[in-house]
Amino acid sequence: MKQIIIAIGREFGSGGHLVAKKLAEHYNIPLYSKELLDEVAKDGRYSKEVLERFDEKPMNFAFIPVPAGGTTISLEQDIAIRQFNFIRKKANEEKESFVIVGRCAEEILSDNPNMISAFILGDKDTKTKRVMERDGIDKKAALSKMKKRDKVRKTYHNFYCENKWGDSRAYDLCISTANISLENAARLIIDYV
């Protein structure tokens, strides 16, 4: 089988992770999202708990420096760089097929001809309802959580990438789950592939 890499960017509550899961199941290939942390933790530098705490977090300017090749970088940067290197190794050296959620993959792997990228978004009402049901919270809490999580994702992405988070020009496809099911969103990507 030819290598297939599908990079999924997403708004919080859009169902992007579930779409990614459906794609990984369809192609019977690994899904890297939080699972990526298990792989990065294998080198022993950071525990999974530390990786989870700083996963896809923007740089904190009141940082604890980490020595890296004669310079110092923040813990967030070191973790991001380790994830980017892992993604590149899987794609370019090991020629693995996979679906990846977030982690700037659409830009990190932009030179790989077997990668397609999609951004999953939705309208406020649909995303709010999904977050309320999934997390068992009220509308006010869901709206607050969506705003906070998207701000973190946007800040993280825009720190490491030239292209801006959610800008349609940076992705092969942009799909709104406002009026279609997550299954149909996955089907659109499968048809594109």
pLDDT digits (tens, 9 = 90+) for 155-192: 999 999 999 999 999 999 999 999 999 999 999 999 99
Task: Check whether 65 has a pLDDT greater than 70.
Answer: no
Q: Where are the beta strands (DSSP E) in 112-192?
A: 115-121, 173-176
Give the Å distances, CA to CA, from 155 to 160, 185, 189.
9, 26, 26
Task: Please indicate whether residue 43 or residue 171 has the higher confidence score (pLDDT).
Answer: 171
Contacts of residues 87-91 at CB distance under 8 Å and 24 or more positions apart, as own/partner, are 87/32, 87/36, 90/32, 91/3, 91/5, 91/115
**Given this model, what pLDDT does residue 67 score?**
54
pTM of the predicted model as reported, rounded to 2 decimal places? 0.89
- 66: pLDDT confidence band, cut at 50, 70 and 90? low
Is residue 97 within 8 A of residue 29, CB to CB? The reply is yes
